[in-house]
């Protein structure tokens, strides 16, 4: 983009030059924003394309799971003939040679029961059991289903502990990408490239317009997905979680009661709602007098033997059959999962996170008396907790059912188109043998000012902010102090 001259020129008045000054300033600002938009795209477009592909697959993970694992997940629907849960667990434990730690009820009438079992070597397996006959249909590793694999791919979990840091950095840069992209797209008296695509695929103009117009339509969705994906990040997510869980506006109100709490966490044996990942479990207190104590009070012990012993049924406990009957009587939504008690102070914990976020619920029962120790649902969350959980539910394509999934699927396709358009546009524009970074404006103060504005946003997302400072420092050194480049 050419920069107009700042001098009045022969035969022109100073008034004319003054009138052109705002336009010149806008061109300088545009170039500075364009430069940072390029950097944001350079780092985030590969992530956005990957997240869009894996996210689109995850939107329909339940029907795909039923299709791929049909022999494990689908049974003949005979609701009147059900084997007791204890018999189903006994069959799974016998097949695995271990101890059950979780029992998941079927969400549909033709669904199998899923029983998490810790085997003799400490591995976690999920055994699928026909609820009518208690026959074991087969098993998979705990993360062996299609949906769990796609979720791990989507969250970059296969990269290890560094994955959540990458998510935070990519999400922060995606927010920067959207905000700068909106500024670059914003109509300034032109009609082309705003709502329609000009040119032909052999022209850079076509790919520029395709990228800009698609980005304009999908930008708000990308912004929403980036913000609602932040709770899974390593620094921002943990800090916000700890902050929300420490105040009335975030943490479920039902946890703040005068009950003895153990060191066990809800996340140890199930996947809770994000706002409950750090929630501690209450302790069973109604053990019959004279009941034997255990050396494994409230934890899994050391080694596979101690872990198995921790899930052994305690003398005087009501048992899983009575616990399931109690949860059913409390009206939990179908498909709830029950974490079995660990040790003599453990509790039965039922949790369910259905598509309707309003039906989220967690109930803790004393394992000896069946007394309800805590019963909390979405309505018990603070305002911040409810907002975060709603955002996460929409992000996962669960809230509003098929409409939500269809809109997110269209958005995922649009994100991929936007990424392809950006790559094609860059490839056609870049000078041979160079990266093709957009040129700096003539005055370094302009790019420094834009950089300062971006750093304010970077303060909200620390890891993204640190990466922004690093890129800014490299760019400053590479251009020898943000000196003007002719591009």
Model confidence pLDDT, tens digit, residues 81-130: 689 999 999 999 999 999 999 999 999 999 999 999 998 888 999 999 99
* 3-state SS assignment for residue 250: coil
Are 18 and 10 in contact by the 8 Å Cβ rule? The answer is no
In terms of pLDDT, which residue wins out, 13 or 279? 279
Q: How confident is the model at residue 10 (pLDDT cuts 50, 70, 90)?
A: very low
**How confident is residue 61, by pLDDT bands cut at 50, 70 and 90?**
very high
Average pLDDT for 185-207: 86
pTM score of the predicted model: 0.83
HEC string of 113-143? Answer: EEEEEECCCCCEEEEEECCCCCCEEEEEECC
Dist. CA 210–CA 196, nearest whole Å: 8
Number of other residues whose CB lies within 10 A of the CB of residue 394? 18
What confidence category does residue 79 fall into, taking pLDDT thresholds of 50, 70 and 90? low
- Radius of gyration for the alpha carbons in the chain, expressed in angstroms and rounded: 28
Q: For 376-418, what is each residue's pLDDT tens digit?
A: 888 888 788 888 889 999 999 999 989 999 999 999 999 999 9
- Cα–Cα distance, 242 to 237 (Å, whole number): 9
Q: How confident is the model at residue 25 (pLDDT cuts 50, 70, 90)?
A: low
Q: Which residue has the higher pLDDT, 356 or 15?
A: 356
* DSSP-derived 3-state class of residue 362: strand
Residue 149 CA to residue 69 CA, distance in Å, equals: 13
Check whether 306 has a pLDDT greater than 70. Answer: no
Closest CA to 298 of 338, 255, 272, 260: 260
**Residue 92: burial class (beta carbons within 10 Å; 0-12, 13-18, 19+):** buried
pLDDT of res. 295: 37
Judging by beta carbons within 10 Å of its beta carbon (0-12, 13-18, 19+), is residue 477 exposed, middle or buried? Answer: exposed
* Spatial distance between the Cα atoms of 120 and 313, rounded to a whole number of angstroms: 17
462: confidence class by pLDDT, cuts 50, 70, 90: confident
């Amino acid at each position: 983009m050419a920069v107009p001259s700042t001098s009045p020129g022969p035969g022109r008045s100073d008034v004319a030059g003054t009138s052109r000054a705002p336009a010149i300033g806008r061109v300088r600002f545009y170039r500075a924003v364009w430069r940072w938009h390029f950097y944001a795209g350079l780092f985030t477009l590969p992530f956005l394309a990957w997240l869009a592909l894996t996210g689109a697959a995850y939107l329909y993970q339940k029907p795909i799971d039923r299709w791929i694992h049909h022999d494990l997940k689908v049974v003949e629907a005979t609701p009147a003939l059900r084997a007791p849960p204890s018999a189903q667990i006994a069959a799974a434990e016998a097949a695995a040679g271990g101890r059950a730690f979780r029992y998941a009820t079927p969400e549909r009438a033709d669904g199998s029961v899923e029983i998490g079992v810790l085997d003799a070597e400490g591995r976690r397996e999920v055994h699928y059991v026909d609820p009518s006959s208690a026959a074991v249909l087969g098993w998979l590793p705990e993360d062996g289903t299609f949906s769990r694999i796609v979720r791990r791919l989507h969250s970059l979990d296969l990269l290890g502990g560094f994955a959540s840091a990458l998510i935070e950095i990519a999400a922060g840069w995606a927010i920067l990408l959207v905000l700068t992209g909106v500024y670059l797209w914003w109509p300034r008296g032109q009609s082309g490239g705003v709502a329609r695509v000009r040119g032909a695929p052999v022209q850079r103009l076509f790919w520029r317009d395709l990228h800009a117009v698609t980005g304009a339509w999908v930008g708000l969705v990308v912004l929403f997905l980036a913000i609602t994906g932040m709770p899974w990040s390593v620094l921002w997510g943990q800090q916000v979680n700890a902050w929300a869980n420490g105040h009335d506006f975030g943490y479920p109100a039902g946890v703040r009661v005068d009950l003895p709490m153990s060191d066990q966490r809800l996340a140890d044996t199930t996947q809770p709602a994000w706002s409950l990942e750090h929630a501690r479990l209450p302790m069973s207190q109604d053990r019959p007098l004279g009941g034997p104590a255990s050396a494994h009070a409230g934890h899994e012990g050391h080694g596979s033997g101690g872990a198995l012993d921790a899930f052994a049924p305690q003398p005087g406990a009501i048992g899983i059959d009575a616990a399931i009957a109690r949860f059913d009587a409390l009206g939990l939504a179908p498909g709830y999962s029950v974490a079995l008690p660990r040790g003599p102070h453990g509790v039965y914990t039922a949790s369910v996170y259905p598509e309707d976020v309003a039906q989220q619920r967690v109930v803790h029962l004393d394992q000896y008396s069946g007394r309800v120790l805590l019963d909390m649902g979405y309505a018990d969350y603070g305002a911040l907790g409810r907002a975060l959980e709603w955002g996460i539910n929409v992000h996962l394509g669960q809230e509003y059912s098929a409409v939500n999934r269809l809109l997110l699927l269209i958005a995922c396709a649009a994100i991929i188109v936007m990424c392809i358009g950006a790559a094609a546009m860059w490839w056609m524009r870049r000078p041979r043998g160079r990266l093709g970074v957009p040129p700096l404006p003539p005055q370094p103060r302009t790019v420094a000012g834009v950089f300062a504005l971006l750093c304010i946003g970077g303060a909200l997302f620390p890891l993204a902010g640190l990466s922004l400072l690093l890129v800014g420092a490299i760019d400053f050194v590479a251009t020898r102090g943000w000196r003007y480049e002719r591009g």
